[in-house]
Amino acid sequence: MRATAVRRSALTVSAVSLALLVTACGGGDQDGEDKKAGGAAKSDKPAAKTLTAAELEKRMIAQGDVKGQEIKKPGKDDVQEPGAFSVDKSECEPVAQALSALATGKPAATVQRLVVEESAAAKKGMPSVEEMGEMTEKEVEEATIDSLDITKTLVSLWSYDAEGAEQSLTALRESAKKCAGGFTVTTDGEKQQVTKVSEEKISAGQDAVAWTVGTKQDGTEADTKVVVFREGNTLAGFSSFNIASVTRGEKYEQPTAVIDAQAAKLG
């Protein structure tokens, strides 16, 4: 089941829960070559190593690396299978892949983790039936949304052979520019409109891209934070989503604590 489906399921659950509760209440840096007389000398920097899956596992963030956030392996409902969707504009496929935490190009190895951050209100959960009996419908609605204040970030590490990582990041950057105005993604016959791909500032790794990707489906609009940075022959990707922010129509920030922690493990 794809990540977009998880988001749709979460929104549906929140809407149903709310209805029931209300009723109850009433430029990458590339090493240049030093030119000397008589020819060009080779770079002194050794070629970046292509990491194996086992090596990526050692460099992937783990529980305890990000304070107050749970880090675990994603379940089958948290990730999307490659090739499970299509786009109406082929040039937009790299952005669609990053949005769904899928690799661009052909990585040699892949490792993923799901990072979950719950607000204090979300950890507290919904009020008891007795408490709700003393609340207004507006208060119940706010309490329901607060209980969904959970940010989920899919973190991916992809290692590439040769110049694969640089080429994939370049493809992502070009795709975002060409598809800034949006495109359509079809999964299992269901269409989702990507309404915007807005560039954001990011400083991580040797080179990086970041966007806010706006989507709309069945009248529900949402924003997802997408970040990809390169360290050597490895790309680190982040696709982050907050249910409460979507419900409230609020903006939220990049998962900087997660990004910084992963950059430190790769650096």
Q: Whole-angstrom Cα distance, residue 143 to residue 85? A: 35
Q: What is the pLDDT of residues 155-214, one digit of tens each?
A: 999 999 999 999 999 999 999 999 999 999 998 888 999 999 999 999 999 999 999 999
Q: What is the pLDDT of residues 41-55, one digit of tens each?
A: 444 556 678 999 999
Q: Which helix (H) or strand (E) holds 231?
A: strand 220-231
Helix (H, G, I), strand (E, B) or coil at 44: coil
Q: CA distances (Å), 16 to each of 23, 128, 200, in order?
A: 11, 17, 34
Residue 245 is predicted with a pLDDT of: 85
Residue for token pair 């607060």:
146
* Torsion angles phi and psi, residue 50, rounded to 5: -85, 115
SS3 content of the chain, % helix, strand, coil (to 5): 35, 30, 35
Smallest CA-to-CA distance from 65 within 155, 189, 173 is with 155
Structure tokens at 50: 């292509």
Smallest CA-to-CA distance from 99 within 188, 195, 14 is with 195
Residue 161 is predicted with a pLDDT of: 97
Higher pLDDT, 146 or 256: 256
**pTM score, two decimals?**
0.80
Q: Which domains does the chain have, with CATH numbers?
A: 48-119+150-266 (3.40.1000.70)
Q: Whole-angstrom Cα distance, residue 207 to residue 163? A: 13
